[in-house]
């Protein structure tokens, strides 16, 4: 309400977005306070009443729902920025919670300016204590509501607020702020170092990684995982286990991240990739086409060629399977053996294209070429990618 009042006082062109989850007795009262203020000052108010499905953590669901609603209004009204009223106590509580959990963060506390859901987010009150905001509202006769759930020790944030933050002196608060600033400065320095030194491209050279100190190693792994899985968070235990695996595993490894992704270590590289990347295309005739997995053309190099006969159709172009083999001039070649000999990475193997005729025979494999029965001096199809 202080933020809203200041925006009006300073003449900003604003619209107001209010979310009412209707999960506490005072929710409708808070909405009325906002609604009355907007009517008095002729402000556009958008309200949302999402219903909690109880399928996931409420705080996670509420945050995602809230920001999706803000984004909808942001786009509708062609807004320049989203203003949020987080204050210094919120930022300090965030830091103390992460400290208690011994969890790593990209930024400790809450940033004054950031981007989220495609919105520029500004927090003009982030340097003010909560008590200063309350005093401003009292001095300027700005009505506001008190959230009674803030008194419940059911929430970690509330416990930290009353057991730690509110018992700190002003001098201790200043020391805590300096501690956060120091950590954020060091984090920025380390991030700039690894971004400059490593061209990740979702791959990491294990040899280079092992030369770094423990702090940088941890940050490198977190950064690699963030690039590959931006919507997933990883615990300190997970990172520690991964570090141990890298140090002790000589033959490489695969670690499941979720149902769809893996972390893979092989041939001196560490990377994240899909667990599977299945595809299948059926062709009833020769076609020249391009997609994410392969490109078919009417000309190319010798190893890319094949001669397709009418009795080969329909052709199936799919990703490689473990049992696949192709008949060459000097016998059959297992595709898996080819991968091992060439040190083909797992992430490339799972989407490696093969061509199969109507009888289920593999007649072409990328980089191996066509089988003995589909080679001629007048090829009519080339897999050029």
CATH code for the domain in which residue 77 is found: 3.40.50.620
Q: Is there a single domain that holds both residue 310 and residue 217?
A: no
**How far apart are the C-alpha atoms of 180 and 187, rounded to whole Å?**
10
Identify the helix (H) or strand (E) that includes residue 61: helix 58-76
Query: How many domains does the chain fold into?
Result: 3
Q: Is there a single domain that holds both residue 149 and residue 23?
A: yes
Domain boundary among 119, 152, 171: 171
Q: Is there a single domain that holds both residue 77 and residue 155?
A: yes
Is 187 part of any domain?
A: no
Q: Is there a single domain that holds both residue 202 and residue 144?
A: no
286 three-state secondary structure: coil
Question: pLDDT of the chain along its 385 residues, tens only?
Answer: 999 999 999 999 999 999 999 988 899 999 999 999 999 999 999 999 999 988 788 888 999 999 999 999 999 999 999 999 999 999 999 999 988 888 788 899 999 999 988 999 999 999 999 999 999 999 999 999 988 877 676 778 889 998 899 899 999 999 999 999 999 999 999 999 999 988 767 789 999 999 999 999 999 999 998 888 887 888 888 999 999 999 999 889 999 998 899 999 999 999 999 999 999 999 999 999 999 999 999 999 999 999 999 999 999 999 999 999 999 999 999 999 999 999 999 999 999 999 999 999 999 999 999 999 999 999 999 999 9
- Quick one: DSSP state of residue 357? -
Nearest residue to 265 via CA among 290, 247, 289, 240 = 247
Domain boundary among 225, 255, 274: 274
Q: Is there a single domain that holds both residue 32 and residue 157?
A: yes
The token pair at 192 is: 């700039």
Q: Is there a single domain that holds both residue 41 and residue 157?
A: yes
* Backbone phi, psi, residue 248, to 5°: -100, -20
Is 150 part of any domain?
A: yes
Query: pTM score, two decimals?
Result: 0.76
Is 350 part of any domain?
A: yes
Q: Is there a single domain that holds both residue 160 and residue 306?
A: no
Is 191 part of any domain?
A: no
Q: What is the pLDDT of residue 45?
A: 98
CB 383 within 8 A of CB 366: yes
CA atoms within 13 A on the CB side of 146: 6
Q: Is there a single domain that holds both residue 64 and residue 165?
A: yes
Q: What is the pLDDT of residue 158?
A: 85
Q: Is there a single domain that holds both residue 295 and residue 367?
A: yes
For every residue of 74-129, DSSP letters joined together read HHHTT-S-EE----HHHHHHHHHHHHHHT---SSSS--SEEEETTEEEE-TTTTS-
Q: What is the pLDDT of residue 340?
A: 95
Neighbouring-strand partners of residue 148: none
243 three-state secondary structure: helix
* Residue reference for tokens 């997609």: 291
Q: Is there a single domain that holds both residue 143 and residue 246?
A: no
Domain that holds residue 128: 2-171
**How far apart are the C-alpha atoms of 310 and 381, rounded to whole Å?**
13
The token pair at 338 is: 């080819």
CA atoms within 13 A on the CB side of 162: 9
Order of strands across the sheet that contains 253-256: 203-205, 269-274, 261-266, 253-256
């Amino acid at each position: 309400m202080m933020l809203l009042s200041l925006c009006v006082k300073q003449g900003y062109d604003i619209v107001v977005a209010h979310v009412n989850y209707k999960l506490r007795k005072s929710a409708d009262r808070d909405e009325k306070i906002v609604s009355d203020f907007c009517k008095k000052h002729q402000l556009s108010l958008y309200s949302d009443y999402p219903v909690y499905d109880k399928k996931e953590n409420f705080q996670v669901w509420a945050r995602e729902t809230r920001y999706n609603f803000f984004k909808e209004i942001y786009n509708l009204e062609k807004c320049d920025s989203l203003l949020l009223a987080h204050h210094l106590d919120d930022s300090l509580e965030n830091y103390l919670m992460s400290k208690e959990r011994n969890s790593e963060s990209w930024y400790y506390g809450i940033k004054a300016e950031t981007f989220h859901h495609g919105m520029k987010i500004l927090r003009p009150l982030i340097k003010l204590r909560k008590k200063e905001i309350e005093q401003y509202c009292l001095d300027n006769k700005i009505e506001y509501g008190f959230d009674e759930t803030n008194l419940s020790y059911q929430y970690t944030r509330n416990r930290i607020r009353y057991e730690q933050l509110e018992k700190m002196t002003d001098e201790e608060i200043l020391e805590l702020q300096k501690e956060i600033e120091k950590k954020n400065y060091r984090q920025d320095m380390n991030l700039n170092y690894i971004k400059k030194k490593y061209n990740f491209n979702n791959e990491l050279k294990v040899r280079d990684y092992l030369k770094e100190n423990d702090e940088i190693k941890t940050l490198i792994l977190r950064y690699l995982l963030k690039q590959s899985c931006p919507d997933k968070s990883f615990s300190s235990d997970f990172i520690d286990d991964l570090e141990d695996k890298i140090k002790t595993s000589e033959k490489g490894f695969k670690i499941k991240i979720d149902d769809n992704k893996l972390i893979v270590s092989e041939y001196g590289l560490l990377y994240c990739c899909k667990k599977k990347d299945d595809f299948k295309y059926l062709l009833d005739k020769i076609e020249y086409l391009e997609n994410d997995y392969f490109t078919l053309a009417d000309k190319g190099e010798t190893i890319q060629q094949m001669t397709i006969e009418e009795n080969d159709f329909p052709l199936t172009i799919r990703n490689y399977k473990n049992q696949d083999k192709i008949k060459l001039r000097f016998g059959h070649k297992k595709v898996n053996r080819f991968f091992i000999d060439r040190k083909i990475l797992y992430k490339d193997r799972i989407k490696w294209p093969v061509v199969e005729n109507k009888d289920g025979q593999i007649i072409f494999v990328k980089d191996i070429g066509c089988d003995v029965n589909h080679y001629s001096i007048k090829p009519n199809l080339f897999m050029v990618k």
